[in-house]
Structure 1
């Protein structure tokens, strides 16, 4: 019966698959002519088994239903996600996407591409540094050039203030200037000292009026 296959000689159910379990195309159900294959050896014929490779993924959702090691293929390139370096097929490797915080399983989520100028590739953060650094430098230069005049105005306003409420408003303004680097830390300390002195003076003046 198996003239071309020396690994098989008997076929009890006559389904064309030999009964030798160690031979080629062995019949796992030698007494049932309807079934012969059982890829995962679970005793359920492949024709009736909804998980032929027994990997926990049903065949209808398994991109590789006969391979227990692989199950998904997000981009449909026939390379399993488990071994594919670009699962979503967007041209960015999974490792680059993870480093950039984008989703390696979503082709619509990927790092922003850089640009190449004269053969030199600039990434996104390179561009931010180049184009964002200029305005920041100008802002810092402006702050340095105008600090002294700004501090002088705050001092004059505090010296002219007549109430603690007015003094508080001036303090809020110079604290904001300090936060924006429009005045230096040492200047902020000086202004705070002048504010405290003026606050004491206003309080003493109010007490004298009450007396």
Structure 2
């Protein structure tokens, strides 16, 4: 009996004295960004279109990424509206590498949903984790007109939205594009 007690006591001492492995937290949060100087590989946007941009700027952030300042700029890779296409971005606060999981198209819009991994760089104490990025491209004036683009990042990944959710998101992006278009037209009238 005494041997058993000493064995248990020794095992408990070793367990307490053994170094514990630290485990950092997974990032839970997100941000939205606007894309600058968006161009496409085709006059009318749709499936298989490749979108390029001159950069991105953070327009809002939440959760563990709420410390990312508004208008923080970073570069995103070109994005092709084809399932399985690679997508990346690099910023001071972290990097994302993933692939296109779903593409939704409609009249004058394309939405690209990607899944991948986010590796935080400036947010110390966090582990690499799964994330999603949803890109929305809008061509309010039809083929050959300017293209607006935005995206939202979420960690952990947002579920792939149903068509009704996409519809609401596209309508919102369309209204934002129309507002920008209207603002440009009124600025031209005021300048004249």
The alignment's TM-score, normalised by the length of structure 1, stands at 0.23
Judging by fraction of residues, say which structure has more helix. 1
The alignment's TM-score, normalised by the length of structure 2, stands at 0.24
**Structure ranking higher on relative contact order (CA contacts 8 Å, 6+ apart):** 2
> Which structure: larger Rg?
1
Judging by fraction of residues, say which structure has more strand. 2
